[in-house]
């Protein structure tokens, strides 16, 4: 049996729990660790029969990866946070003096393992299967939406140029440079079931079909997704097309159309709630990596974890 670290003696006898402790205790209980680890385990390095340095425990590495998402930490930042925070070390499974805290290179290699084997999309699917088994995917419709994730526009880097996969776009009177995340959201509890990524200049309507799971009875969206062709296709398939109508300078919306848009927006607005968690609460309003594929891999698990966070009280209730 491992000897507990003397540096932690008496720490958990304190009277008050911090917000970080409360949050991590909740996520400890709602994340289906065994199911997610089972997906990664076949790809995780095994120890060599010839000896050498043994691989770090899979669960420890995955828990650290989750900490990175919740606290918006880089690979070096995650290593420093583990040294700095007893609560994070406890959550990651570093509880004894001989437990190894992974260095930033090990954290980087684990992230690349997930990207290389495209595991984050499978992790999102597994999380949603876990939630579906508990009756939390009950909606018969999908809300389609998109958000811009900013990227650095500066050329003051080693390559002296911007990320070639990012693009510039205008929203209203404001210009943005970066990528765009597109999501398909269940209209019951507002949980994300599909995530796609493009350059920021790709029109929302072009991704409409890729955000549907194919079994919808209705689809919701803002006016960026309104199209006569899409409406005709949806209605021909027996799907209610509850997408806001867009007015023009020469053909402004009628009072009836405005009332209809307001009625549809009550449901459509649910599709923006996952962005509140990912971009505001967890701070992922800017890209962390170069290239769309790496950022998409991060966002897939981020939205999966956001699904768990948003229904955590339902999962924790008896």
pLDDT one-digit tens code per residue, 126-140:
999 999 999 998 778
Q: Does residue 298 carry a pLDDT above 90?
A: yes
Does position 72 have pLDDT exceeding 70, yes or no?
yes
Max Cα–Cα distance, the chain, nearest Å: 77
Contact 191, 311 (CB under 8 A): yes
- Which sign, positive or negative, has the C-alpha torsion 210, 213, 219, 220? negative
Percent of the chain clearing pLDDT 90 (strictly above): 80
At 34, is the secondary structure helix, strand, or coil? helix
> Global pTM?
0.91
pLDDT at 244 over 90: yes
The pLDDT, as a whole number, for residue 308 is 98
Q: Residue 98's pLDDT band (boundaries 50, 70, 90)?
A: confident
Question: Which element (helix H / strand E) includes 304?
Answer: helix 292-310
Q: Are 280 and 306 in contact (CB under 8 A)?
A: no
CA–CA dist 119, 273 (Å, integer): 25
Closest CA to 275 of 307, 313, 312, 243: 307
Q: Is the pLDDT of residue 255 over 90?
A: yes
* pLDDT of 230 over the 70 cut: yes
State mean pLDDT over 41-61. 82
CA–CA dist 238, 217 (Å, integer) = 7
Angstrom CA distances, 148 to 98, 198, 246, 267, stand at: 44, 10, 21, 21
Mean pLDDT of the region 23-51: 90
The pLDDT value given to residue 49: 56
- What interhelical angle do 104-116 and 119-133 show, nearest 10? 80
Higher pLDDT, 40 or 247: 40
Contact 192, 145 (CB under 8 A): no
The CATH number for 138-316, chosen from 3.40.50.12780, 3.40.47.40, 2.130.10.10, 3.30.420.10, is: 3.30.420.10
Q: Which residues contact 283 (CB under 8 A, 6 or more apart)?
A: 72
Domain residues of the chain, as ranges? 6-117, 138-316
The most confident of the ranges 39-48, 90-99, 301-310 is: 301-310
Is the pLDDT confidence value at 193 over 90? Answer: yes
Q: In this structure, which long-range contacts are made by residues 30-37, counting pairs with CB atoms below 8 Å and at least 24 apart in sequence?
A: 30/308, 30/309, 30/312, 30/315, 30/316, 31/66, 31/305, 31/308, 32/126, 32/127, 32/130, 33/59, 33/62, 35/126, 35/130, 36/62, 36/123, 36/126, 36/127, 37/62
Across residues 48-63, what is the average pLDDT?
81
């Amino acid at each position: 049996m491992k000897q507990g670290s003397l540096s932690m003696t008496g720490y958990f006898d304190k009277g008050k729990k911090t917000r970080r402790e409360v949050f991590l205790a909740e996520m400890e209980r709602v994340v289906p660790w065994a199911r997610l680890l089972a997906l990664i385990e076949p790809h995780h390095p095994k120890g060599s029969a010839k000896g050498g340095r043994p691989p770090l425990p899979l669960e420890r590495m995955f828990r650290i990866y989750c900490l990175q998402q919740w606290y918006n930490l880089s690979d070096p930042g995650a290593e420093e946070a583990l040294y700095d925070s007893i609560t994070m070390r406890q959550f990651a499974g570093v509880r004894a003096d001989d437990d190894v805290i992974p260095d930033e290179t090990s954290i980087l290699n684990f992230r690349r393992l997930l990207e290389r084997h495209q595991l984050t999309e499978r992790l999102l699917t597994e999380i949603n299967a876990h939630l579906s088994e508990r009756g939390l995917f009950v909606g018969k419709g999908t809300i389609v939406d998109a958000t811009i994730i900013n990227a650095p526009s500066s050329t003051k880097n080693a390559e002296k140029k911007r990320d070639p996969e990012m693009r510039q776009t205008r929203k209203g009177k404001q210009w943005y440079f970066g990528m765009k995340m597109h999501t398909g959201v269940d209209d019951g509890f507002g949980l994300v079931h599909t995530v796609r990524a493009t350059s920021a200049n790709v029109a929302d309507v072009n991704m409409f079909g890729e955000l549907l799971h194919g079994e919808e009875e209705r689809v919701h969206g803002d006016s960026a997704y309104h199209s006569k062709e899409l409406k005709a296709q949806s209605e021909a398939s027996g799907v209610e097309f509850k997408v806001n109508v867009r007015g023009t300078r020469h053909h402004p919306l009628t009072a009836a159309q405005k009332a209809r848009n307001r009625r549809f927006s009550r449901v459509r607005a649910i599709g923006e709630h996952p962005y509140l968690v990912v971009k505001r609460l967890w701070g992922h309003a800017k890209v962390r990596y170069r290239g769309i594929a790496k950022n998409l891999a991060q966002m897939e698990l981020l939205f999966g974890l956001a699904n768990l966070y948003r229904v955590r009280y339902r999962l924790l209730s008896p």
